[in-house]
Amino acid sequence: MSRVYNPDSAGKERKLLTRGVVLALRELMKQTEANDLTFDLTAYIAMSLGEISQTIDTSVGAWEKRGYWVKADKFRLEWEWANSYSRQMHDALVAEDWAKVAATAAKTAQKFGKVTVPERNHLGTPWVGAWKEFKKAA
């Protein structure tokens, strides 16, 4: 019997989201004043960090079924910052506190320091329209 392969795994989703966040952070750091692009970028980062946080339990579930509790707990601890940074970015965006947005973006960039995004990435600009989605969800 062959292995069942899931091409839409939580790990792949997390990898795409982290690359998108890294691209958005690079663009956000170039912004000098708050405009529509700044709102889109900040909303995208906040929502993506929340989605990354949600993928953790899915990834850990398989390890817990096999009894790898230490590995599962270590992975959760490694990613526990994502949910709190998502909330911080969300609150700062709602309050339009750009200093807090910049501080949270800097902390997030430190966490994603080892993430590499190819020069010819296929992600494009995933943050376009994120502000509208953000307002719908709020």
Q: Residue 125: what residue type? A: T
For residue 119, what pLDDT is reported?
Answer: 76
Which tens digit of pLDDT belongs to each residue from 94-107? Answer: 999 999 999 999 99
Decide: 25 and 112 in contact? Cβ < 8 Å.
yes
CA distance 10 to 16: 10
Predicted confidence at residue 102, as pLDDT, reads 94
CA 110 to chain centre: 13
Residue 18 pLDDT: 93
Residues in Cβ contact with 17 at an 8 Å cutoff, skipping those fewer than 6 apart: 48, 51, 52, 55
- Which residue ranges of the chain lie beneath pLDDT 70? 1-8, 138
DSSP string, 49-86: HHHHHHHHHHHHHHHHHTT-HHHHHHHHHHHTHHHHHH
CA distance 6 to 61: 15
Helix (H, G, I), strand (E, B) or coil at 26: helix
